[in-house]
Amino acid sequence: MSEHKKVALITGANKGIGLETARQLAAEGAIVLLGARDIGRGDAAAAALKAEGLDVRPVKIDVDDREDHEAIAALIEKEFGKLDILINNAGVMLDGELGKNSTLTVSEEKIRETFDTNFFAVVALTETLLPLLKKSEAGRIVNLSSILGSLTLHATKGSPIYDAKVFAYDTSKAALNSYTIHLAHALRETKIKVNSAHPGWVKTDMGTDAAPMNVVDGAKTSVWLATLPEDGPTGGFFHMQDALPW
């Protein structure tokens, strides 16, 4: 039976939105590889979902470690021979307090560190796993972005994010959105769909308790994009099923 199930890899999935995304995808019948930098935490998270009767398997992956990229590709090739869903969920926000303009205060080191995780690691991991995604009957790539990556809304006075300029994080997500557009175009003749997801402002370690959304709702956009039908969109930026401006 397992060879007929979809195989999904979610990075940064031992907590928060990633963990809930794993729960929801597994509940829909997928085999979910729950990626975690700390395999101990990944084991604990996966055990909790297994106790719910879900097929979730912990795997070690630090997205900043290229050796981990090769190792996870080899594991997926050996165990499944293909990858149906890649959700690039892992990310960092290192600027400091949300809501303050950090453009003149965030260090070059923090900017580079943010881009390494939020952009360059996503590109590298995705390219490593593309041969396996091409073996899927309906490959899906979901890049966890943020409305804070919208250049249009940042430039529009009075928009919901006009005064929320966390520079390193915002620009890394804008770059990620550009990658979504370019990769979707590069893969336009294949069955692979590539989209960016804004989960919403969610109660997580990053979102804080001030956020209005719970993780159950925060995972819904990723799950929808990961399970799109053949006539679904590609190269888009979405929250729930609504398109967002770039």
What is the per-residue pLDDT across 80-131, written as a single tens digit (0 to 9) for each? 999 999 999 999 999 987 768 999 999 999 999 999 999 999 999 999 999 9
62: confidence class by pLDDT, cuts 50, 70, 90: very high
Q: Which residue has the tokens 């290192």?
A: 94
Active site (catalytic) residues = 169
Give a yes or no: residue 152 inside a domain.
Answer: no
- In the prediction, which pLDDT does 48 show? 95
- In the prediction, which pLDDT does 204 show? 55
Q: Which residues contact 65 (CB under 8 A, 6 or more apart)?
A: none
Closest CA to 91 of 15, 182, 23: 15
How confident is the model over 12-60, as pLDDT tens digits?
999 999 999 999 999 999 999 999 999 999 999 999 999 999 999 999 9
CATH number of the domain that residue 141 is part of? 3.40.50.720
Give a yes or no: residue 111 inside a domain.
Answer: no
How many structural domains does the chain have? Answer: 1
Give a yes or no: residue 99 inside a domain.
Answer: no
- In the prediction, which pLDDT does 203 show? 46
- In the prediction, which pLDDT does 216 show? 87
- In the prediction, which pLDDT does 1 show? 38
Contact in structure between 142 and 87 (CB atoms under 8 Å)? yes
206: confidence class by pLDDT, cuts 50, 70, 90: low
Per DSSP, the residues of the chain read: -GGGS-EEEESS-SSHHHHHHHHHHHHTT-EEEEEESSHHHHHHHHHHHHTTT--EEEEE--TT-HHHHHHHHHHHHHHTS---EEEE------S-STTS--TTTS-HHHHHHHHIIIIIHHHHHHHHHHHHHTTSSS-EEEEE--GGG-HHHHTSTTSTTTT---HHHHHHHHHHHHHHHHHHHHTTTSS-EEEEE---SBSSTTT-TT-SB-HHHHTHHHHHHHT--TTS--S-EEETTEE---
Give a yes or no: residue 230 inside a domain.
Answer: yes
Please tell me the distance from the alpha carbon of residue 178 to that of residue 172, in angstroms, as a whole number: 10
- In the prediction, which pLDDT does 100 show? 81
Give a yes or no: residue 66 inside a domain.
Answer: yes
Give a yes or no: residue 136 inside a domain.
Answer: yes
Give a yes or no: residue 227 inside a domain.
Answer: yes
**Percent share of the chain, pLDDT over 70:** 93
pTM of the model: 0.94
Please tell me the distance from the alpha carbon of residue 43 to that of residue 50, in angstroms, as a whole number: 10
212: confidence class by pLDDT, cuts 50, 70, 90: low
Closest CA to 205 of 14, 23, 9: 14
How confident is the model over 132-165, as pLDDT tens digits?
999 999 999 999 999 999 999 999 999 999 999 9
Domain that holds residue 85: 2-92+120-145+173-243
